[in-house]
Structure formats: structure tokens, C-alpha cells
Amino acid sequence: MSQTTHSPSSLSQTPWFDEKSESPLLAEYARKLDSFLDVVSDGQVDAVELEAQEKRVVALMRAVEPLLSPEAHETVTRLLCEVTAYDLMNAFYMAGKSRPKTKFVG
């Protein structure tokens, strides 16, 4: 999945869930984004790359927000908050898994 722009008539709806497992597919799609692949190619994310990603997110949020009804806006707001909370929890979980399980005794 690249970040190319398509006209609305040429877009098919990208599924959010795996048909068989019903697992979310967003992380899979994110790992295929050109912006993600370019940034992680060196195994590091720096402040400039993180800021560029934030700008892409903000631009998409600004583009989508006026398209939403008040009810859809509230639902999407909750969705974005839950996805953000999940990403933060996952980062904490992964950081905890990478710590040594034994304590250094010197």
C-alpha cells in the first residue's frame, strides 16, 4: 500500500479486518507504507522523521474531519483515541519484553 492518491471513483474499500481471522489489518497496511519503509530502512527513527509522520497524520485528519457527520466524527474520534492508546500500550509492552529478565548483581 503506497501513499498514491486515487480519485474516489477508482477506490475500492480497503478492508479493515482479515476475512478469516477477523484480526485488524491496519498494522499490516502501515508496514507497507512508503513513508514507513523509508524511515525504518536504517533501523532507526529520528525526530525529523517522526515530525514528518505527524504532519502526514494531521493532514489526513484535516482532510477527513469535514467529511464526517457529527455522529461519525465522535465515533472516529473514539477510534483514533483507542488506536493511539493501543499503540502506546504496545510500545510499553515491547519495551518491557526487551528488558533483561535478570538483575545485575555487581
First to last CA, the chain: 50
The grid coordinates of residue 87 equal 499503540
Question: pLDDT tens digits for 45-54?
Answer: 999 999 999 9
Average pLDDT over residues 52-64: 96
Residue type at position 5: T
pTM greater than the 0.85 cutoff: no
Q: What is the rounded CA–CA span in Å between residue 53 and residue 70? A: 27
Question: pLDDT band at 105, cuts 50/70/90?
Answer: confident
Question: pLDDT tens digits for 2-54?
Answer: 444 444 455 789 999 999 999 999 999 999 999 999 988 988 899 999 999 99
